[in-house]
């Protein structure tokens, strides 16, 4: 038998190893970046794949002894310089991974972790916008969004048979109103194969205020999605365009004209080689035509809402709150150590999405010492020193009011009602559908209001504040037999308000979403109005009204 030429054998081994390495990269898509742990794991595998065919695996030799005994010894080649170089080559990236993780740890860098963010202290009553209506608060949690979104898709027989909802809903602020978005995905390989020519036709938009979902059909379908295969795979397309970037959150959003984009956060360690990953750049990727651009975090357009995800926002505050006094203080002394609760809600103001979560001492039980809000686009942090019940205690208090219904409360949002820090949440049935709304006072968790609508719950809560005489609670007065002189309609942050100029010279306002019956008020009507002061001279909020007489 003719002996194979050693040079040809070596070339074949290299070609086969190269093919395996490319396949490995194509499947797992690691970033080619030394600041990524995935890179060093991949490099270890690459070195092993190239060196194994050249003898790296021949570690032992088995010798037969008289009888049935055997003896195992290191193979002779393990003592060669060539073999030792091979072992050192494979061991080097493993050593970098281990040493890099140690020197990047909080043990050696507590202060640097703590200084990743700065937190501005603010006064809750003056800094947090007061909520006069609750028509722009995103209360729906992700589970409810999934339930409602799937139900909306189920009504479209021609779409539901081929596509599914991604399920990872992005909270955005769209034209001044909160919305949750999730794009459709192919329902498996064969559905992709049969539909890839026309692409993914649209996405689901869920209204978290009114608990409604709507399917949005796109004029130009999505070509690049997570469920695509080969060149249609979103992550693969991103990796081949940005081979060195460490990808973080990938959020589906739309701009003000309704054009869809994937917003991809690119991460960079702030400490050592692998420590304190934070967002440094953002890729704006159009999944319809594959165009993309990369900008720094300071250049992100205003319409983009999610650059930092809520879990990263919590992690960064926990580094700040736990490690400011040093590593050992975070483990043993705990002096001044603070941490967030284990979930977060959403707030909408200043045309941005903000994360909200409570802050508690590491030694506390069921109470908060304050709250933080973090801007999902800019990464700004604010801390409010408001002592009161933590979120889960408030959820239990709301559930207790409807315990006969077995409703479960979602994680609440934080709002300012008449200067009072207030939790607001939805109460869901066993099927995940929203049934009622609850408001719980942060400082006095026993003050709980429940309503079938957000407006009903808000009105009940304001009455409880007034009755309890809490500082900041707005008292109510009644004005009898006042005549409506003029009626003005204004749209504020997407909500319609009616302003009634009455014969006493004051304007009385109410949101149409809170009380649709105000549409029947006409100029010349005589009303009895129960009102609350707004803090603005000449403008009062209508709590209740009744028509006394109608003048012809």
Whether residue 409 is predicted with pLDDT greater than 60 in this model: the reply is yes
pLDDT at residue 440 above 60?
A: yes
Give the pLDDT confidence score for residue 550 in this predicted structure: 47
Q: Is the pLDDT of residue 490 over 90?
A: no
Residue 78 has pLDDT above 90, yes or no: no
Structure-token pair, residue 85: 């170089």
Task: State the pLDDT confidence band at 61, using cuts at 50, 70 and 90.
Answer: low
With a cut of 70, say whether residue 544 has pLDDT above it. Answer: yes
Question: Does 326 score more than 80 pLDDT?
Answer: yes
Flag whether pLDDT at 552 surpasses 50.
no
Q: Which of 67-76, 107-116, 174-183, 402-411 bottoms out in mean pLDDT, i.e. has the lowest?
A: 67-76
Fold of 476-550: OB fold (Dihydrolipoamide Acetyltransferase, E2P) (2.40.50)
Q: Look up tokens 């939805």; give the residue.
A: 426
CB atoms within 10 A of CB 220: 13
Whether this model's pTM surpasses 0.75: yes
Residue spans per domain, the chain: 6-103, 120-128+312-386, 142-307, 391-468, 476-550
Tokens, residue 450: 């429940």
Instruction: Provide the 3-class DSSP secondary structure of residue 224.
Output: coil
Q: Which residue has the tokens 């704006």?
A: 284
Beta bridge mates, 63: 71
Q: Find the helix or strand (DSSP H, E) in which 71 lies.
A: strand 70-74
Confidence (pLDDT) at 285: 98
Could you give the CA distance from residue 251 to residue 125 in angstroms, rounded to a whole number?
A: 32
Extract the runs of DSSP E, i.e. beta strands, from 362-494. Answer: 367-368, 370-375, 381-384, 388-389, 408-409, 413-417, 420-428, 434-441, 448-451, 476-492
Output phi, psi for 388, to 5 deg. 175, -170
Residue 233: closest CA among 246, 254, 250, 253: 250
Percent of the chain with pLDDT over 70: 90
Q: What is the mean pLDDT of the chain?
A: 87
Average pLDDT over residues 264-268: 98
Would you say residue 414 has pLDDT above 70?
A: yes
Angle (nearest 5°) at CA 180 between 179 and 186: 140
User: Tens digit of pLDDT for each residue in 26-43?
Assistant: 999 999 999 999 999 999
Measured in whole angstroms, how far is the alpha carbon of residue 358 from the centre of its chain? 16
pLDDT surpasses 90 at 537: no
Between residues 25 and 475, the one the model is more confident about: 25
Mean pLDDT, residues 212-236 taken together? 95
Distance set, CA 31 to CA 34, 42, 279 (Å) = 8, 9, 15
> Above 60 in pLDDT, residue 258?
yes
Q: What pLDDT band is residue 57 in, cutting at 50, 70 and 90?
A: low
Mean pLDDT of the 116-132 span: 86
What does the pLDDT average to over 74-79?
Answer: 57
Q: What confidence category does residue 320 fall into, taking pLDDT thresholds of 50, 70 and 90?
A: very high
What pLDDT does 134 receive?
61
Report residue 495's pLDDT band, with 50, 70 and 90 as the boundaries.
low
Q: What stretch of H or E contains 18?
A: helix 6-28
Q: What is the pLDDT of residue 238?
A: 98
pLDDT interval class at 353 (50, 70, 90) = very high
DSSP state of 364: -
């Amino acid at each position: 038998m003719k002996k194979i030429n050693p040079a040809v054998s070596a070339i074949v081994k290299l070609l086969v190893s190269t093919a395996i390495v490319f396949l490995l990269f194509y499947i797992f898509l690691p970033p080619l970046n030394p600041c990524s742990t995935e890179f060093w794991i991949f490099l270890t595998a690459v070195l092993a794949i190239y060196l194994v065919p050249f003898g790296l695996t021949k570690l032992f030799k088995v010798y037969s002894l008289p009888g049935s005994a055997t003896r195992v010894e290191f193979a002779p080649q393990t003592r060669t310089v060539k073999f030792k170089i091979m072992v050192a080559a494979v061991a080097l990236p493993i050593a970098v991974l281990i040493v890099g993780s140690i020197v990047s740890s909080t043990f050696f860098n507590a202060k640097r972790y703590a200084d990743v963010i700065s937190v501005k202290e603010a006064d809750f009553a003056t800094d947090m916008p007061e909520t006069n209506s609750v028509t722009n608060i995103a209360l729906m949690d992700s589970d409810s969004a999934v339930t409602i979104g799937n139900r909306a898709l189920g009504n479209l027989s021609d779409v539901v048979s081929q596509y599914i909802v991604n399920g990872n809903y992005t909270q955005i602020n769209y034209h001044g109103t909160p919305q949750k978005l999730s794009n459709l995905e192919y329902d498996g390989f064969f559905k992709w194969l049969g539909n890839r020519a026309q692409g993914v036709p649209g996405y689901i938009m869920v209204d978290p205020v009114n608990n409604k979902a709507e399917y949005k059909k796109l004029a130009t379908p999505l070509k690049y999605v997570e469920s695509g295969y080969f060149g249609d795979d979103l992550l693969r397309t991103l990796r081949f365009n940005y081979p060195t970037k460490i990808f973080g959150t990938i959020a589906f959003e739309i701009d003000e004209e309704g054009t869809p984009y994937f917003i991809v956060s690119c991460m960079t360690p702030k400490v050592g080689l692998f420590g304190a990953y934070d967002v440094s750049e953002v890729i704006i990727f159009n999944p319809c035509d594959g165009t993309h651009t990369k900008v720094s975090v300071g250049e992100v357009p205003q319409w983009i809402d999610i650059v930092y995800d809520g879990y990263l926002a919590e992690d960064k505050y926990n580094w700040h709150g736990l490690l400011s006094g040093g590593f050992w203080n975070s483990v043993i002394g705990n002096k001044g150590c603070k941490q967030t609760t284990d979930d977060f809600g959403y707030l909408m103001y200043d045309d941005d999405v903000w994360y909200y979560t409570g802050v508690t001492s590491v030694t506390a039980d069921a109470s908060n010492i304050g709250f933080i809000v973090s801007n999902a686009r800019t990464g700004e942090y604010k801390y409010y020193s408001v002592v009161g019940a933590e979120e889960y205690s408030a959820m239990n208090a709301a559930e207790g009011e409807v315990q006969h219904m077995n409703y479960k409360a979602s994680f609440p949002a934080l709002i300012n009602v008449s200067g009072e820090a207030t939790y607001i949440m939805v109460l869901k049935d066993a099927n995940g559908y929203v049934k009622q709304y609850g408001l719980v006072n942060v400082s006095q968790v026993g003050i709980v209001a429940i309503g079938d609508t957000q407006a009903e719950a808000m009105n009940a809560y304001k009455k409880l504040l007034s009755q309890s005489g809490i500082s900041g609670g707005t008292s109510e007065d009644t004005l009898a037999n006042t005549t409506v002189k003029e009626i003005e309609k204004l749209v504020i942050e997407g909500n319609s308000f009616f302003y009634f100029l009455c014969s006493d010279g004051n304007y009385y306002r109410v949101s149409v979403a809170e009380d649709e019956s105000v549409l029947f008020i006409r100029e010349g009507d005589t009303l009895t109005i129960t009102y609350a002061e707004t803090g603005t001279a000449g403008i009062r909020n209508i709590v209740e009204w009744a028509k006394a007489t109608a003048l012809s």
